[in-house]
Structure 1
Amino acid sequence: MRILIVNYEYPPLGGGGGVATRAIAMELAKRHEVDVLTSAGPGLPPEERSEGVTIHRAPVLGRTRRSTASILSMVSFWPIGILHGRQVLKGRRYDVVNSWFAVPSGPTGLSLARYFGAPHVLTMAGGDIYDPSKWYTPDKNPLLGMAVRRVLAASDAHVAVSTDLARRARALYGFERPIDVISLGMSAPRYTAVPRRQLGLERDVIYVVSVGRLVRRKNLASLITALARMQRDDVHLLIIGDGPEEAGLVTLADGLGVGRRVHFRGFVPNETKYQLLAAADIFALPSLHEAFGLVYLEAMHCGLPVIAARPGGQEDYLDEGRTGFLVPAGDVESLEGALRRLVEDPGLRARISAHNRQVAQRFSIAATASHYEQVFERLGCGRMPVYVPA
């Protein structure tokens, strides 16, 4: 079976949506031929083959950073992706086209699906449906909202990465057709644990760690403020990731008097990321909204209790008091309280740690890919046997 996946962001570009797409593409490539159409980025070749997947990069406008997309790069992926896809994929046959994000990927993928005469499967993955932190997202912008409705109407099957996102697609866009909820998954991370001193960490400090792009939606200002309210010199915060909010967050930490206890590590390799997670004590990311929150699973694989905000897709697998704590989005007082409970109770942290390692193992990338194969089979794509993971 030949599959074309369309996502305007694909690693090393972008965040969780791209990471999830790559994992699924690599798993599908074990049994099928998989091509990916994505955006070009600084220092990346126009075409390459990686882990069995052939990656084609469209020369979008205004993409100057790997970590974040500009509005221009997202808008230009729509027409440039169509033209580039037709050019570089000409003469090929695809059994299915799977687009990630209703916009900007959806119109591109839908056009290519019609060009190849293949069914189109839309995966709703986050800000394409809802994002409370931006003014221009489809839930607020009428023109983009209209584009989302058209892609929804024209697609042959629909997937959402969480129950929350499926609910929002119905509430915000009046969509009434079936939506398959397919959770994201990941393989257990491989890394070599090292002593704290090798990571530049102190032995007797309690470390709260957060991972993600430094953008407003991640709500890290609330986390820094909660840390300051605790007034405990033995509790430090590690922030892994980069992005446009970094300078403002540094200023906030300094202004609250916790600058020496908030450590900005920037972008780090995966091995280092997992080493820092494994060396920390608590994971906290109080995002205003997450469509699924793959990073929480990463932390759980490393045995960390998780503090997250609600509502969001992470509620499909995070349980209050069992995996950590869920606090109302933007509620600094509740966030501080959750931190205090975990900081002051090492026994609770240990119990949650063991539980979270078990929960994380349930969300395998093999199971996720198998669910996509079932959706493709339902559309008659290639009439391939559905892989059922052991």
Structure 2
Amino acid sequence: MSAEFGPARPDRAEVGMPAVVLVTSSFLPRFGGVEEHTLNVARQLRDRGHRVVVWAVEQGDDDVPRAVDGIPVRYLPCPLPARSGKAMLHFVAALPAAVARWVAAWRADRPDVLHVQCFGPNGVYAWALSRCARTPLVVSSHGETFMDADGAFESSALLRGALRAALRSADAVTACSAFTAAHLVAGYGLPAGRGQVVPNGIDTQEAGGQAPPWLPVSYVLGVGRLVHNKGFDLLIDAFATLDRDDVRLVIGGDGPELGALRAQVDALGLSGQVLLPGRLSRAEVVAVMAGATALVVPSRIEAFGITILEGWRAGIPVVATRRGGPPEFVADGVTGLLVDPEDRGQIANAIATLLDEPALAARLGTAGRTAVRGYTWADVAARYEGIYREVGAGTAVR
């Protein structure tokens, strides 16, 4: 099988830094956690001397970029079989062309490492390709097994099986938090102690834009994709119990729950106190963070919580969920306040405490601004680069 992929690649010592393909479940023009992670890691690896290419799942988007900041981007089809006869016929018809495009991409880019970012259909094809082409495989999990809004892993036995196989055969496995790694151990057969934690990062110097004219003078902020897991309905319920006229609630973001959240606000009689402006640009997120009284991250479960880093960068106090990864890096009462998101009293009390104790709010904000310095994209890329070296030397943790 490997003969189909041409002659062996030259030794890494002859070509310098490993050539890396980041195989991501989603990429621009879409933008979210995995897209941001992949883009920033790609930039950093390029700046460190690696030849980097991004392979992303072809999703039918218009005007997809073929390169970003000089980094080539390929969009590859990833058809998977389904149970219905019609869907299976479609898969059988589409598979040969999909395989041909993946093989052509490998031949064109000749990666030393295939690095899956957020395992989905992209991971299935990258795992199969790594086996056939004998190319080292690194799998990085971002909580997709328990945070996917569409429940892909719950509904697809093929996806679950492919992830288990990939975790067994991968040359290295990383997770954005120890909580996420433990989930792979418990549910997907990752050997205990094998996964390495590589947290998310942030651009500590990201520029902001003008504050939107609709912003209130004083407001508590929530930001993220509006899906059930993010818990913004819990935040609205908690805010309703505060009964205060000196502060508003702003929840920025778009997603399938936007209509339901607006209906919830109307039902609670909070239409003048809770603002749901929809999607915010990156520059608007920075600006809105900078002016907030506090940030609340009320997720029912969270793999990491990159929004926390954004709050820290802005120097504002953060109230974060204690379910999932945040307790691993947020020190309760020191760099933030941790709450059970299902307990609206805890959320409301945390918000009220920050409003009524400005000295505490300022202390938490200052501590967060210091803590965020340890979460740069350069730090993330350096950790990955160390893993690539281990993979190349045959010393990765297996």
Provide TM-score, normalisation by structure 2.
Answer: 0.84
CA shift digits 1:55-79 (9 cap, x unpaired): 1113568xxxxxxxxxx9xx98x96
Aligned 1:64-79 pairs, distance under 5 A: none
Letter in 2 for 1:370: A
> Is the 8 Å Cα contact of residues 21 and 113 (structure 2) preserved in structure 1?
yes
1:27-56: CA deviation from partner (whole Å, max 9, x where unpaired) = 101111111111345654455111232111
In structure 2, C-alpha distance between the alignment counterparts of 1:117 and 1:132, rounded to whole Å: 30
- Determine whether 1:201 maps to 2:215: yes
User: Does the alignment pair 1:315 with 2:327?
Assistant: yes
Comparing 370-379 and 36-45, the one that deviates more: 36-45
From 148, 155, 160, give the equivalent of 2:163.
Answer: 148
1:119 equivalent in structure 2: 136
The residue identity in structure 1 corresponding to 2:196 is D
User: Structure 2 residue aligned with 1:184, among 200, 203, 209?
Assistant: 200
Residue identity matched to 2:134 = G
Deviations 1:296-320 (A, max 9, x none): 1011101111111122112221111
Q: Distance in 2 between matches of 1:199 and 1:273?
A: 14
> What residue number does 1:3 align with?
20
1:50 is the counterpart of 2:62: no
SS in structure 1 at match of 2:303: coil
> Which residue number in structure 1 is paired with residue 40 of structure 2?
23
Runs of 4+ that moved beyond 6 A: none
Instruction: State which of 144, 165, 170 in structure 1 corresponds to 2:185.
Output: 170
| Bigger Cα Rg | 2
Matched, 1:230 2:248: no
* Partner SS for 1:379: helix
Aligned to 1:34: 52
Listed one character per residue, the Cα deviations across residues 270-295 of structure 1 (whole Å, up to 9, x for unaligned) are 11110111011100121111211111
Which residue of structure 2 lines up, in the alignment, with residue 258 of structure 1?
270
Q: Is the 8 A contact 2:334 2:364 kept in 1?
A: yes
Amino acid at match of 1:145: R
Q: Which residue of 2 aligns with 1:67?
A: none
Correspondence for 1:13: 30
Identify which of 120, 140, 148 aligns with 1:103.
120
* Aligned amino acid, residue 160 of structure 2: G
Q: Counterpart of 2:109 in 1: which secondary structure?
A: coil
Name the structure 1 match of 2:7: none
Separation in structure 2 between the aligned mates of residue 185 and residue 372 of structure 1, nearest angstrom: 12
Contact persistence 1:29–1:52 (CA under 8 A) = no
- Residue 227 to residue 296, structure 1, CA distance change in 2 (3 Å): same
| CA RMSD, 1 decimal | 2.7
Is 1:242 aligned to residue 254 of structure 2? Answer: yes
Q: For each residue in 1:171-221, what CA deviation from the matched residue of structure 2 results, as whole angstroms up to 9, or x when unmatched?
A: 222321511111111221432575x6x633333x3x111111111110100
Aligned equivalents of 1:354, 1:374: Cα separation in 2: 31
Amino acid at match of 1:235: V
Q: String of CA shifts for 1:230-265, please: whole Å, max 9, x gaps.
A: 111222111111011000000001101112111112
Given that 1:215 and 1:244 are in contact with CA atoms closer than 8 Å, whether structure 2 keeps it comes out as yes
* 1:102 and 1:152 in contact (8 A); partners too: no
In structure 1, the partner of 2:172 is 157
- Pick the aligned partner of 1:328 from 336, 340, 347: 340
Code of the residue aligned with 1:260 in structure 2: it is G
Distance 1:359 1:321 in 2: 14
Counterpart of 2:290 in structure 1 is 278
Residue aligning to 1:365:
377
Report the Cα offset of residue 25 of structure 1: 1.1
Using the TM superposition, give the Cα deviation of residue 141 of structure 1 relative to its aligned residue in structure 2, in angstroms: 5.9
CA distance in 2, matches of 1:326, 1:156: 36
Contact 2:121 2:159 (C-alpha < 8 Å) held by counterparts: no
Q: TM-score, normalised by structure 1?
A: 0.86
Q: How many residues were matched structurally?
A: 365
What is the distance in 2 between the residues matched to 1:81 and 1:99?
Answer: 18
The structure 2 residue matched to 1:346, chosen from 353, 358, 365, is 358
1:304 partner amino acid = I
CA distance in 2, matches of 1:39, 1:106: 10
- 1:333 is displaced (CA, Å) by 1.6
Q: Which runs of 5 or more residues in structure 1 are unaligned?
A: 62-71, 384-390
Q: Which amino acid aligns with 1:169?
A: L
Residue aligning to 2:83: none
